[in-house]
Structure 1
Amino acid sequence: MASESPSPAATAGAVVAQRTTAEQEADQNAVDDAQYRKDWYRKNASITEWAYRTLVILQLAFAAAVPVSAAARAPEWVAALFGGIAAVLTGAQQTLGLGQEYVRLNATHVRIDRELRLHRALAGPYASAEAPAQLLATRVEDIVAEDTTRWSARPGKGRTSARPGQATPPACRVWAGFSAWA
């Protein structure tokens, strides 16, 4: 009687069983790093979106206060003050580029999230990869490097580092000075 060859699932199980603890830790580190980066982008995208929306709402409120103060016959300086504040807020919005920053950060978050989902399902490029975790690490690093290049090409980019001794990551420039977020 001919011997049966082992099923693909049994073969995969044997390969997993032969892996060393160091290899398993390296795989887990790759997944943890990708998750950390995804969370970092999500957090900074949320902060940037909040700052952008707050700035726009304040702009609208102060701009709307100009005709209201005139109609209420407030002193002229009140309308001028409201108009000046609205102008400064408009300038800040343009200078900081929070709308574009939010879009960039959120897009990178979504791309990293997609890679994590494909990796977990062993789908897409991970289905046939010999080392799915290493492929995940490489693909996430490529996404972050591409984002860093886009971020550094922006005029007036930030120059602070999120962690001392590390290269400057793409960060929400507005909040780079706050240690809680940088």
Structure 2
Amino acid sequence: MTTHRKRAAGLWVLPCAVLLLLAAGCGTQRAGAAAGTGPSSGPAPSGTAVAAPSAPADFPCPGESSAPTAADGSGPDATPPDRYAENHAFRIPLRLQGQARCDGLAAGGRVRDALEPLRRSGGFTPAHVQSVLTGLGYPPAAVRTYQNGPGAVGFLIVVGASPWCVEGTLTGASTTVDAFGGYPDGTGCEPPRGGH
């Protein structure tokens, strides 16, 4: 008798599990579909669409003739993604957009202008570059300078909590400066380590 009860109880498990799975699917909505739309229902009432968050619009910054265009690699002529590049995308800094981009360009210009006399005089060290950058008003804790090969000094400035960052290299031949919005993995202004 005990075996018969176990066998009878076991026969109900499968139909109950199927019923639970079917019930769990009821009332769900596929991504991108508006509520109330489908083959048997009419169009969704107006005003029900939820606006997706948008990125700040790029516009020309002071001194630029036009706003930059972002190539996203999509479209009919897009080439298949390079797997190495795809796997290392976490190391590509985030672009600044909108007013933050203009602020970044302005900060980069101030840094470049301040470092040019030091570059022209030659013989600069990480300590010299640190002194110039803190002289611009950046707190010492927000500025990192380092030897970046023979005759080159690299620097990184953390500006604000957003973060946005200014980095560059000073060599005898040139001063390069770039502003960006941190890294996708959330490491702030420091380049992420590791990967896959």
Which one has more relative contact order, counting CA pairs under 8 Å at least 6 apart? 1
TM-score if structure 2 supplies the norm length?
A: 0.26
Q: Which has more strand, going by share of residues?
A: 2
Q: Which has more helix, going by share of residues?
A: 1
TM-score if structure 1 supplies the norm length?
A: 0.28
Larger radius of gyration: 2
